A and B are shown apart, each in its own frame.
Chain A
């Protein structure tokens, strides 16, 4: 069964450094998402991406964040200058269509630790 994959599984970085989290969505999917989960808290929506542009973003997704689909297979989340509070599990998701009709498939997550 096809699945969403994410790399790395765990990333440790120093405050102020840039990080890029990578995701490979399911191949025939068209909609892509990033969510995050701070330890012990609920999963929060960050951004949705369709047709090579952001379709929706949350308040969390400020100028420090950006997303890109550089080569038609990878979907990346970049944090330009990491802060301690960016430490969280980051989940990528993809779906064939809009969430109202199609299920979103989640990757296993990347645990980001900012020191």
Chain B
């Protein structure tokens, strides 16, 4: 698998439900970040979690990081139509200065 692979590739849920997206990676990381991208638009930084952190919250977002399993999850609670977008995890490998993005999860919130 590639660095920063999200799962699932696509997810459709009803408005109000919680959405969970997962990310797996291969190398030792310094930090992991989640970004949102609306169709054809720019990247919006959502949250950064460092390798020594296990969980982080920001509003309706909750990110977990398990460095032993080399995985992270992004939970969006009480989803809204405006949450419809692609979500990418991005990792920073130790010793590097570049972010490696995954292929993303396309989230669709149904009304």
Contacts and interface: CB of A to CB of B under 8 A. Distances in A.
Interface of A: 31, 33, 35, 41-45, 48, 55-56, 58, 89, 91, 98-100, 103-109, 111
Contacts of A105: 45
B87 interface: no
A31 B97 contact: yes
B96 A106 contact: no
B30 interface: yes
B42 interface: yes
Interface string B28-51: 001101010000111111001000
B99 interface: yes
A43 B88 contact: yes
B97 A44 contact: no
Contacts, number: 59
B96 A91 contact: no
A100 B101 contact: no
A47 B103 CA distance: 19
A43 B101 contact: yes
A6 to B, nearest CB: 8
Contacts of B104: 42
A100 B98 contact: no
B98 A91 contact: no
9 contacts: A35-B99, A42-B102, A98-B97, A99-B30, A99-B92, A100-B92, A100-B94, A106-B44, A109-B42
Contact of B99 (A89, A104, A107, A108): A104
Contacts of A35: 99, 101
